[in-house]
């Protein structure tokens, strides 16, 4: 699958951008030209040889701050995705096999989670349960897990009804064997697409929260924080927000591009599968009966 | 028709009652999970355990968990969200002020999103596989990767600070003049709407293109119906379902996005109230925000479900 994604131009570009961001997260703080926390008298300086992206209102080097902030963004996005995957995809597959009670309960929970505005909840929970991006991302991961639940469930339902799986059931195959042998292969491609999309959401949420100053202590460098710092001085430095904006958008765009490439490479049926008319907003009840 | 609508409403209510119950229970449980207490506000960190106990007794926090939940939920149903730990103010009143701001922005964003989203989606579907379609697809891709706070900053930079066409911050209620009200909510609403425009356009295009491939549409074309009639009678009604459903799911995002846009545009809304209360540790106020947003989302989805039942023929037949 990776080879086929790399065969697509879009897939190469997307993976390239994301790999760069991940490398920045790992090594960025080491290669940062200056201390991201060190202030100087060079306030709101324009880009120069010394400060490639200029300085902020405390004279801190913007490039160094962005590099140092990338680690938090990547970790946050990974946490959202991992959380959503465990809480969403696994019950999604199991909901088809573990009986009606489990199915009913998980469907109700999914309906509930989707009704909660996740940014508002993330803000509330970070403040109440401890001020940190990990806490916030835990909640966001929980609240985006319905996507994974639905995708996994839809794919599993489709496989479970196919003739060869019915034949396997008649032949006496166990549920565990069927899931391992037939279901995983069919569930993984749409899950991969959802994974790439959710990673993009994760980056946006981390940037939004740090932009609001939630989940971080002030001098700590973050992408959103750099953006917020620039915002107060737009009339002095109108172009200052461009660097963090380009960085955030390129990352999100690469995630979406990767999602599209994965979809093309794996032949997942368009968006129809990912955004199949959800149960929450109308009756797919009959469809599933 | 009316019976069908009522049936759809009944089914949706049955679906949303458990949603509401679970969501409000989680919201209530947040206080116990947080371990925060009003005593910190009144006594500071160095309070003696006896003093803390006295304050908590006054607030009724020493009763059993379920008893607290029962009285909280009872107050909730009668419209009382309790008093703020921070300043003792009535939370319902505080929230009402903020909700006007946020609903103005979210509502206007929804209008912009629906107008431009459906316009672009329909245009792309009608002119499918032409350069118009490809251009629209490109535009929606760009729109979908622009987070609302990025759009907001760009809009402030260009239209408020640069061109000075719009005020850069604040809010004026509609009863103090429609013009100033619109001027203040336009930029934040545009910033919020991008995501809705992009998703709605994409979903509508996909739904309509799929509907155009149906046999009954080919049949209608063969029967010599005008393109306009084919579109409105057959294609639109059958292809709009997924787009409407997506719209129902977008509403929580609009409310959530308000937290960020309100910070950029300095509006005293719901989101600002949530962020400020959360940072103060004012649990009842945060719970109030969450409850109100849950109610808004549920009501909005009820409306969408009823619309779905009325508009799409498949849903009308009970399929």
Q: Do B256 and A114 touch (CB under 8 A)?
A: no
Q: What is the pLDDT, as a whole number, of residue A66?
A: 83
CATH number for the segment(s) B2-317: 1.10.3720.10
Q: Do A235 and B202 touch (CB under 8 A)?
A: no
B12-to-A106, A115, A152 alpha-carbon distances in Å: 18, 13, 24
Cβ atoms B303, B106 nearer than 8 A:
no
**pTM of the shown model:** 0.79
Cβ atoms B121, B204 nearer than 8 A:
yes
Q: How far is A135 from chain B (nearest CA, A)?
A: 12
Q: What is the pLDDT, as a whole number, of residue B319?
A: 42
Q: Do B36 and A238 touch (CB under 8 A)?
A: no
Out of A179-188, B41-50, B202-211, B212-221, pick the least confident: B41-50
For chain B, give percent helix, strand, coil, nearest 5.
Answer: 80, 0, 20
**What is the ipTM, given to two decimal places?**
0.74
* Phi, psi values for residue A217, rounded to 5°: -95, 140
Q: How far is B182 from chain A (nearest CA, A)?
A: 23
Q: What is the pLDDT, as a whole number, of residue A286?
A: 36
Test mutation, A14, A116, A230, chain B, max B CBs within 10 A: A116
Question: What are the domain boundaries of chain B?
Answer: 2-317
B144-to-A61, A214, A253, B137, B148 alpha-carbon distances in Å: 30, 24, 8, 11, 10
Q: What is the pLDDT, as a whole number, of residue B212?
A: 84
Test mutation, A17, A113, A119, A289, chain B, max B CBs within 10 A: A119
Q: What is the pLDDT, as a whole number, of residue B114?
A: 92
| Residue B115 pLDDT level (bands cut at 50, 70, 90) | very high
Q: What is the pLDDT, as a whole number, of residue B112?
A: 93
Q: What architecture is the A70-269 domain classified under in CATH?
A: Orthogonal Bundle (1.10)
Comparing CA positions, the residue from A147, A85, A205 lying closest to residue B256 is A205
| Residue B306 pLDDT level (bands cut at 50, 70, 90) | confident
CA distance B308 to A285: 14
pLDDT tens column, A77-92: 898 899 999 998 888 8
Nearest CA in chain A to B25: A112
Q: Is the pLDDT of residue B173 over 80?
A: no
Q: What is the pLDDT, as a whole number, of residue A134?
A: 81
Q: What is the pLDDT, as a whole number, of residue B313?
A: 65
Question: What are the domain boundaries of chain A?
Answer: 70-269
Q: What is the pLDDT, as a whole number, of residue B43?
A: 66
Which residues does chain A have with pLDDT short of 50? Answer: 270-289
Q: What is the pLDDT, as a whole number, of residue A277?
A: 37
pLDDT tens column, B125-137: 888 888 888 888 8
Those residues with Cβ within 8 angstroms of residue B17's Cβ, 6 or more apart along the chain or in another chain: none
Partners of B267 on chain A (C-beta within 8 Å) are none
Q: Do B274 and A282 touch (CB under 8 A)?
A: no
Q: Do A109 and B289 touch (CB under 8 A)?
A: no
Cβ atoms A83, A251 nearer than 8 A:
no
Check CB contact of B18 with chain A, cutoff 8 Å: yes
Q: What is the pLDDT, as a whole number, of residue A279?
A: 39
Partners of B16 on chain A (C-beta within 8 Å) are 111
Comparing CA positions, the residue from B168, B165, B308 lying closest to residue B249 is B308
Partners of B253 on chain A (C-beta within 8 Å) are 117, 119
Check CB contact of A200 with chain B, cutoff 8 Å: yes
Partners of B150 on chain A (C-beta within 8 Å) are 227, 245, 248-249
């Amino acid at each position: 699958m990776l080879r086929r994604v790399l065969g697509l131009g879009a897939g190469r570009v997307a993976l390239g951008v994301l790999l760069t961001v991940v490398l920045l997260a790992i090594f960025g703080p080491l290669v940062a030209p200056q201390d991201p926390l060190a202030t100087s008298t060079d306030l709101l300086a324009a880009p120069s040889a010394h400060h490639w992206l200029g300085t902020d209102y405390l004279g801190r080097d913007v490039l160094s701050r962005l590099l140092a902030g990338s680690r938090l963004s990547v970790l946050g996005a990974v946490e959202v995705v991992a959380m959503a995957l465990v809480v969403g995809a696994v019950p999604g597959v199991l909901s088809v096999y573990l009986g009606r009670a489990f199915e009913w309960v998980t469907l109700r929970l999914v309906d509930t989670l989707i009704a909660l505005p996740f940014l508002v909840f993330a803000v509330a929970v970070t403040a109440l349960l401890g001020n940190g991006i990990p806490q916030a991302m835990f909640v966001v991961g929980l609240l985006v897990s319905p996507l994974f639940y639905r995708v996994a469930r839809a794919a599993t339902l489709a496989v479970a009804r196919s003739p060869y799986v019915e034949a396997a059931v008649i032949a006496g195959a166990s549920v565990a064997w069927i899931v391992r042998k037939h279901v995983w292969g069919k569930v993984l491609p749409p899950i991969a697409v959802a994974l790439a999309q959710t990673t993009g959401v994760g980056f946006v949420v981390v940037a939004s929260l740090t932009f609001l100053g939630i989940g971080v202590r002030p001098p700590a460098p973050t992408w959103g924080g750099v953006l917020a710092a620039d915002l107060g001085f737009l009339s002095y430095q109108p172009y200052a927000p461009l660097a963090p904006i380009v960085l955030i958008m390129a990352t999100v765009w690469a995630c979406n591009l990767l999602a599209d490439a994965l979809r093309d490479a794996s032949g997942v049926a368009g968006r129809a599968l990912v955004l199949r008319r959800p149960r929450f907003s109308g009756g797919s009840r009959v469809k599933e009966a | 028709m009316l019976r069908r609508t009522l049936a759809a409403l009944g089914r949706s209510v049955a679906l949303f009652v458990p949603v509401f119950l679970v969501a409000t229970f989680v919201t209530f449980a947040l206080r116990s999970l947080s371990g925060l207490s009003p005593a910190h506000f009144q006594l500071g960190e160095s309070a003696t355990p006896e003093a803390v106990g006295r304050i908590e007794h006054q607030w009724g926090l020493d009763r059993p968990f379920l008893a607290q939940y029962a009285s909280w939920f009872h107050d909730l149903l009668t419209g009382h969200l309790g008093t703020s730990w921070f300043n003792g103010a009535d939370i319902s009143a505080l929230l009402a002020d903020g909700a006007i701001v946020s609903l103005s922005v979210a509502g206007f964003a929804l209008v912009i999103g629906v107008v431009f989203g459906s316009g672009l989606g329909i245009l792309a579907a009608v002119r499918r596989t032409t350069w118009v379609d490809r251009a629209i697809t490109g535009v929606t891709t760009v729109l979908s990767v622009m987070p609302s706070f990025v759009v907001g900053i760009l809009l402030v930079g260009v239209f408020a600070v640069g061109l000075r066409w719009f005020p850069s911050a604040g809010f004026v209620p509609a009863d103090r003049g429609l013009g100033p009200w619109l001027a203040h909510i336009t930029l934040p609403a545009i910033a919020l709407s991008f995501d809705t425009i992009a998703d709605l356009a994409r979903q509508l295009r996909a739904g309509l293109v799929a509907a155009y491939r149906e046999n009954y549409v080919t049949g209608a074309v063969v029967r010599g119906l005008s393109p306009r009639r084919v579109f409105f009678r057959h294609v639109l009604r059958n292809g709009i379902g997924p787009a409407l459903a997506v719209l129902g799911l977008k509403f929580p995002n609009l409310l959530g996005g308000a937290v960020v846009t309100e910070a950029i545009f300095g509006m005293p809304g719901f989101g600002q109230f949530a962020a400020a209360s959360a940072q103060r540790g004012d649990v009842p106020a945060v719970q109030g925000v969450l409850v109100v947003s849950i109610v808004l989302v549920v009501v909005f989805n009820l409306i969408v479900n009823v619309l779905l039942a009325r508009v799409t023929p498949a849903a009308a037949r009970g399929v």
